[in-house]
Amino acid sequence: MAEPAADPAADQPADRPPASRPKPSFSRFPRNLPLPALIPALALIAGCGLSVLAMLQSDRLLTQEEEHRFATRVEEIHGQMADRLQVYQQVARSAASLVMTFPDLHWTQWNRFVEALDMPRRYPGIISVAYARAVPATGSGELVAAMRAAGLTNFRIWPESAGAERVVNIFTAPVDEANVRAVGFDMMSEATRRSTIERARDSGEPAATRAITLKIDEAAGAKPALILYQATYRGDPLPPSLEARQASFTGVVAVPVRIGSLVDGLVDEKRPDIGPDAGPDAGPDTGPDTGIEIYDVPPAEAEFPLYRSRRPLETTAAISLTRELPVGGRVWTVRYDSLPDGVLTAHEWVPGALLVGGIALSIALSLILRMMLATHSRAVELAGRMTASLRLQEAERQQLFTQAPLGIALVGTNGLLTDCNPAFGAAAGLAREELLGTDLRLRFGDQGSVFALEAALQGESGRLESDQPLVLGGRRSHFSLHFQPVILAEELKFVLAFAEDIGEKRRAEQHIQYLAHFDALTGLPNRILLFDRIAQALREARREGSKVAVLFIDLDRFKVINDSLGHSFGDEVLRSVARRLRSGLRESDTVGRLGGDEFLIVLRRVMEPGDAASVAEKVVAHLASPFTVGGQNFVVTPSIGISLYPDDAEDPEGLIRCADIAMYHAKERGRNGFRFVTREMGARSRERMDLEASLRKAIREGQLFLVYQPQVDTLTGRVVGLEALIRWRHPEEGLILPGRFLPVAEETGLVLAMGDWVLFEACEQIRRWRSRLGLSIPVAVNVSGAQFRDGQLPAKVARALDANGLSGPELEIEVTESTLIDDVESAAATLEALKQRGVLIALDDFGTGYSSLSYLHRLPIDKLKIDRSFIHDLSTGASDASVPRAIVGLGRSLGLSVIAEGVETQEQLQLLRDLACESYQGFLFSRPIPAEEVERLLGRQGAAHAVAVE
């Protein structure tokens, strides 16, 4: 920049009035603009304006055309969908007419009727056509007998629990493995089907269910479907009144329809590239240009659509239309979206082409006009233009100098500040008048700035950043400084000093860096920074030949704190834990939070495993003292897994994985401790994952089965009860005992599904034994802690008993003592609900937990089971008979029966007789045996009627 020019007013004679300055005005702009520039500019503006109008008009017309074309396509698809549903309803009516015309229709005739419909080709989406007959609950047996006599030898009604009226599926076609599974299903047993059947019965018209999962699809996963029901009547095809229709109701024709198959065909048929004549290039990348979403409730109230057609990811609909579709008494809301089909349309290129072409023509015309006019007026306006240009440049320089957001100062060759703009004064925190004439070499707050200025005075430019005040006595911030010498004719004229306040930028960068590498809740390093710290420690350990230890810390039962006291309370606990973990480490070590209640400690320069063990012990000790949060005191214990470099892994991910495995083994060993990872742990971890996958498959495919161990009277030797025990027959490994797979089931939550299966299977077996042998002794079923605390146990037991026609005393529920002690009030309520249903309650493993007379007196228990450890100690002499004697005496005083488990020798049996223990079970009498051997055992001993059920 040139030096500031002298004031021109000072050179004017005193008697001359100052020249008047022209007032800027927009109205004077066209008159002041040179003619060679004005006319081409007007032509260019006019041409561009016309081009824009042409573009907007073409865009509007093409948009209207696309909307009209899409609306036509929507009406066509919507009409065909409505027609298809009407045809499906007509299928239901036709089948109902057949049933009402031929009441004694045989199932083979029904199959021929349905096969003639050619459903896969003519009625896509219809899975089958079934007929369900309405019978009173008392007539179920007659229906079963009739269907078996008709050739369906395996026909049964399920589920067996029923209301006053049943509607049982007796015909279904086409006959395949999936459809046959639905034969015998009582459609009135499920609320959705029942309400729809009642609506079809009362109206005489087809009625549709809401979106459901069909019984044949429950094992394979959710496939949205609906069922069209058409009622059939006795005599008149449509009785005139509601009472007449209810009185003459004989059943329903059920037409299950998969919604996806119903709609996909309609969309695909409209696409030439994926229709029946599609070429070999039509593949999965070619999607329909019309997206369909179906809701059976208003879309604003629906979490998910009932159906959504295939569409590319992250695709935005250009046009959306909504239509309502009546379906069997219900109303669907169908939304149609216009989706891009990958083909360049006129709407996408025509407006742009018009705009580009118009602008190009306008520019060409403007250039031609300019060239013609410039030749004529160039000589006349050359002097004026040069003068105006110089004035404009001077004004621009001054405006740039004063209004620039960047601080600019002019420093003379003597180091004095000769001028500065307002931005430089604002950065320095001082007024411009205070800075003028200042020697910056004496006033700069940073010595580095002084050196840079002196270098600039010698002709060398320089840059630097400073976090000191720009000048002494001014404000402090973070500044970026640039010194640029201005040299003309090899002579230094002055130095330009540029100053930018980058404090906010630096603080924002530091905050972003903090958020990217530190946990927002605890302030500890997060996963990203932890991986980096581990990598640094590994590089250091490789250079020095030392070790690195990784401690994986998980807080025991932290979920209980969150669930009982709230997440805000749990967050404060996590912050308190983080403070304690930081306080006990060296500066060179790192503690971070992986997420949830998981923390990680990285120890550098570890010489031997004992160093890591010492730190783990300190962590356990630091967390052992009670925490006080929100006025409450409690203790949080950790489970710690330890891995070492290079012993266990050589990369951060491997070290964390090994420490994680060791941590889980620490939890298995009782929590509140630490474990080093071993190779066996890794192998067991992989084995556990394989076992979990196999167990899930076993539950699905029915590889589990039950065996039963007899419970015997101590004096008479008669069987007085049975205990159902689960076993697993693996297709490759053979028999797997519970001790191997039950811990995995409890840890993964599979124990709930497994426990429900055992309960229902045991009740079905009781029913079979009662019908064959007149069984009157109870069968005990073990209930896990998770199943007991689920809150659904009384209801599940009631369903299992009702489904098998059992009154209750035939079933005995065994609960461990530790399960009840966790929450005695809730346990008492659950046991009371079970007792009201009539089942017996046994307290398993009694004596191994925190036995208390108070809770024994409050809980409705019928039987105490002496744990096998006490029985084993009797025969080995490890202890005397005081504990079994006390348990027997306690049971007798409370009116409870007592049974000992694990009896394997005559000596143990004799000791139990001496203690007056009522019954026992164990290998001495019988190992757990299959149901068939139980029947032979009871037949030999005549024990089926030996003991009456209470």
Which of 281-295, 476-490, 555-569: highest mean pLDDT? Answer: 476-490
Q: Comparing C-alpha atoms, which of 636, 594, 635, 641 is closest to residue 615?
A: 641
Shared-domain flag, residues 866 and 891 = yes
Stated pTM of the model: 0.39
Computed over every residue of the chain, the mean pLDDT equals: 82
Q: Are residues 940 and 827 in the same domain?
A: yes
Residue 225 pLDDT exceeds 70: yes
Q: Does residue 751 carry a pLDDT above 60?
A: yes
**Residue 325 domain-assigned (yes or no):** no
The verdict on 762 and 876 lying in the same domain is yes
Q: pLDDT-based confidence at 280, cuts 50/70/90?
A: very low
- Mean pLDDT across the stretch 508-526? 79
pLDDT of residue 267: 65
Are 466 and 606 in the same domain? no
Q: Of 156-160, 262-266, 570-574, which gets the smallest average pLDDT?
A: 262-266
Tens of pLDDT, residue by residue over 47-79, are 888 889 988 888 888 888 888 888 998 998 899
Cα–Cα distance between 838 and 579 in angstroms, integer? 54
31, part of any domain: no
pLDDT at 930: 93
Q: Are residues 634 and 748 in the same domain?
A: no
Q: Of 93-97, 353-357, 685-689, 829-833, where does mean pLDDT reach its minimum?
A: 685-689
Checking phi first, is residue 791 left (phi over 0); if not, alpha (psi -120 to 50) or beta? left
Q: Would residue 638 count as lying in a domain?
A: yes
CA angle 304, 309, 310 (to 5 degrees): 115
Neighbours of 750 (CB within 10 A): 19
Would 326 be classed as within a structural domain?
no
Q: Which two tokens stand for residue 148?
A: 């078996």
Are 400 and 419 within 8 A, CB to CB? no
Does any domain span residue 342? Answer: no
Rounded Cα distance between 724 and 734, Å, is: 20
Question: Residue 765: its pLDDT value, please?
Answer: 93
pLDDT by residue (tens digit) across 390-407?
Answer: 788 887 877 777 777 888
Any idea what the CATH number is for the domain that residue 177 is in? 3.30.450.350
Q: Terminal CA-to-CA distance of the chain, rounded, Å? A: 110
Q: List pLDDT tens digits, range 168-210.
A: 999 899 988 888 888 999 999 888 899 999 999 999 999 999 8
Let me know if 513 is exposed, middle or buried by CB neighbors in 10 A (0-12, 13-18, 19+). Answer: exposed
Q: Which two tokens stand for residue 589?
A: 């070590």
Integer Cα distance of 950 and 939 in angstroms: 22
670 and 705 share one domain? no
Ordered DSSP codes for 625-654: SPEEETTEEE---EEEEEEEETTT-SSHHH
Give the Cα-Cα-Cα angle 154, 159, 163 (nearest 5 degrees).
125
Which residue's structure tokens are 């009740």? Answer: 763
For residue 9, being part of any structural domain is answered with no
837 versus 635: the higher-pLDDT residue is: 837
Q: Are residues 498 and 603 in the same domain?
A: no
Give all strands of the β-sheet with 207-208 in edge-to-edge order.
165-173, 129-136, 249-258, 225-233, 207-208
Is residue 824 located within the same domain as residue 932? yes
Same domain, 93 and 140: yes
Contacts 24+ apart (CB under 8 A), 609-616: 609/549, 609/642, 609/644, 609/647, 609/676, 611/549, 612/549, 612/551, 612/642, 612/644, 612/676, 613/642, 613/674, 613/676, 615/549, 615/551, 615/584, 615/585, 615/589, 616/551, 616/640, 616/642, 616/674
**SS3 per residue for 786-801:** HHHHCCCHHHHHHHHH
CATH classification of the domain holding 439: 3.30.450.20
For strands 417-420 and 319-327, give the pairing.
unpaired
Q: Give yes or no: residues 102 and 186 share one domain.
A: yes
In terms of C-beta density within 10 A (0-12 exposed, 13-18 middle, 19 or more buried), how is residue 409 classed?
Answer: buried
Domain end marker among 205, 235, 255: 255
Model confidence at 17: pLDDT above 50: no
pLDDT of residue 371: 82
Residue 16's pLDDT is 47
Q: Is residue 285 part of a domain?
A: no
Q: How confident is the model at residue 131 (pLDDT cuts 50, 70, 90)?
A: very high
CA distances from 750 to 530, 739, 759, 813 (A): 34, 15, 14, 19
What is the total count of domains within the chain? 4
The mean pLDDT of 559-586, rounded to a whole number, is 82
Q: Are 335 and 321 in contact (CB under 8 A)?
A: yes
Same-domain status, 565 and 461: no
CATH number at residue 809: 3.20.20.450
Per cent of the chain over pLDDT 90 is 20
What does the pLDDT average to over 433-460? Answer: 82
Asked if pLDDT for residue 846 goes beyond 80, the answer is no
* Residue numbers of the domain that contains 459: 408-507
Domain end call among 220, 255, 290: 255
Pick left, alpha or beta for residue 651 (phi over 0 → left; psi -120 to 50 → alpha; otherwise beta): beta
CATH number at residue 558: 3.30.70.270
pLDDT-above-70 percentage for the chain: 88
> What is the predicted pLDDT for the residue at 681?
57
pLDDT number for residue 430: 80
Which residues have CB under 8 Å from 41's CB, separation 6+? Answer: 33, 366
Q: Which amino acid is at 122?
A: R
**Is residue 22 in a domain?**
no
Beta strands in 702-802 (DSSP E): 704-713, 719-730, 734-736, 779-782
Q: Buried b / exposed e across 540-550, counting CB within 10 Å, b at 16+?
A: ebeeeeebbbb
- List, for residues 773-808, the tens digit of each pLDDT value: 888 889 999 998 888 888 899 999 999 999 999 998
Same structural domain, 935 and 818: yes
Q: Of 232, 255, 278, at which residue does a domain stop?
A: 255
User: Among 130-134, 231-235, 680-684, 697-701, which stretch is predicted with the lowest mean pLDDT?
Assistant: 680-684
Q: What is the residue-wise DSSP string for 815-860?
A: EEHHHHHTTHHHHHHHHHHHHHHT-EEEEEEETSS---HHHHHHS-
